[in-house]
Amino acid sequence: MYAFLARRLLATIPVLAIVAVLVFLMLRLTPGDPAAILAGDAANTEQIAQIRAGLGLDRPVPVQFMIWLGNMLSGDLGESFYYKMKVTALIGQRIEPTLSLAALTIAIAVLTAVPLGVLAAWRFGGWFDRALMGFAVMGFSVPVFVLAYILIWIVSLKLGWLPVQGYRRIADGFGPWLQHLILPSITLSVIYIALIARVTRASVLETLGEDYIRTARAKGLREARVLVRHALANAAVPIATIIGIGIALLIGGVVVTESVYAIPGLGRLTVDAVLARDFPTIQGVILLFSLFYVLINLLVDLSYVILDPRIRY
């Protein structure tokens, strides 16, 4: 088990390395001189050259990459052009709302989608199944921000039940925190529910066709036990996989949702940074999100060992 853990950790290194190269190249392919942007409009050529030397931009590209990589590895993500502070500190300020939003969304999504998917598979072709699949297609199709505005309009503006926008830190109390977060989380979870419910249904449907389900029924077991202990338990691996893959989708959703609900998190930071062409911040956020994605998928891989005894590494 520890050997597997070590091997799996090592295997993430090439992926992370490629992410690093891609991000580096992406930002170096930028038309325009970062030094000029950094220096501002009033700077003269000399100042720009100075800044360029300071950034190491006058050296060959591979050397620049090594310097850049060294900085990244030592935890130095550089300084934001726009906020004039360390990117790591900036991220530290903004990470709590994003983590809260993501965690609440995942919790809502998994807790509703998995039971719904199992029920739909059990009643395959029935009204519930068709209704859920109809909802799933809608969930994929309605853009997050349109849904957000519809919900704000109904729940906050017309009914006045919840605040329209903003965020309260969890340190300021659990109640206000939840009040501000519940609508964004529901908004964001819709697409995630659609995705997980669909995959749960498909995988449970597949396992329901397996021989061991026939065996379980031939043993005279109750239908609930057949569904949970035999069908769902065997469908767990694809469900875990889609939860992991969906994290990328979730991050995309966070960017939009935070903008609509004015939540001061990393998603909002990304958009602001892009609008301000604040490259160190953009790169820091992308690296962080990618690392997060890779880590989640590592956890998902580890969960396979628990979910399916046939998988041994």
Partner 1 sequence: MSAVLEVRDLAIALPAGSDRSHAVSRVSFTVTSGEIVCLVGESGSGKSVIAQGIMGLLPKGLPVTAGTILLEGENITHAPPERLRALRAARMSMVFQEPMTALNPVMTCGEQIEEVLREHAALGPAERRAKILAILREVSLPDPERIVAAYPHQLSGGQRQRIMIAMALVLEPALLIADEPTTALDVTTQAQILRLIADLQSRHGTGVLFITHDFGVVAEIAHRVAVLRLGELVELGTKQDVLTRPQHAYTRMLIGSVPSLRPRTRQADANAPVVLSTHGLGKTYRDRSWFGKRRDVRAADDVTLEIRRGQTLGIVGESGSGKSTVARCVVRLIDPTEGDIRLSGQDIARLGAAALRPLRRKVQIVFQDPYRSLNPRRTVEEAVIEGPLNYGVPRREALERARRLMELVRMDPAVLARYPHQFSGGQRQRICIARALAMEPELLIADEAVSALDVSVQAQVLELLEEIRERLSLAMLFITHDLRVAAQICDQVAVMSQGRVVEYGPAASVFGAPRHEYTRALFDAAPGRGFEFAAA
Partner 2 sequence: METPDARQYEALSVESAAVVRRESAWQRVKRNWSVRIGGAVLVVLLLVALIAPFLGTVDPTLFDAASRDLLPGQAGEITTLEGETVKHSFLMGSDSFGRDIYSRVVYGTRVSLIVGVATALLALAFGIVLGLSAGYLRWLDGILMRVMDGIMAIPAILIAISLVAMWKGSLLTVVIAIAIPEIPRVTRLVRSLVLTIREEPYVEAALSLGTPTWKIMFSHILPNTVAPLVVQGTYICAAGILTEAILSFLGVGLPPDIPTWGNVMAEGRAQFNEYPHNIFFPGIFLAATVLAVNILGDGLRDTLDPKMAKRV
- By CB under 8 A, name the binding residues for partner 2: 14-19, 21-23, 26-27, 29-31, 137-138, 140-146, 149-150, 152-153, 157, 164, 198-199, 202-203, 206, 242, 248-249, 251-252, 255-256, 259, 270-271, 274-275, 277, 282, 285-286, 289-290, 293-294
Q: Does 210 bind partner 1 (CB under 8 A)?
A: yes
- Interface with partner 1, residue 2, by CB under 8 A: no
Binders of partner 1 among residues 222 to 261 (CB under 8 A) are: 222, 225, 229-230, 233-234, 236
Which does residue 215 bind out of partner 1, partner 2, none, counting CB within 5 to 8 angstroms by kind? partner 1
Choice from 9, 150, 215, 291 touching partner 1 (CB under 8 A):
215
The site partner of 1 among partner 2, partner 1, none (C-beta below 5 to 8 Å per kind) is none
Closest among 56, 57, 55, 35 to 47, alpha carbons compared: 35
Task: Answer with the entry of partner 2, partner 1, none that 31 interacts with (C-beta below 5 to 8 A by kind).
Answer: partner 2
Query: Which of 158, 160, 175, 310 is close enough to bind partner 1 by CB under 8 A?
Result: 310
For partner 1 (CB under 8 A), the number of binding residues is 27
Is residue 307 at the binding interface for partner 1, with CB under 8 A as the rule? Answer: yes
Q: Which does 30 bind (CB under 5 to 8 A by kind): partner 1, partner 2, none?
A: partner 2
130 interacts with partner 1 by CB under 8 A: no
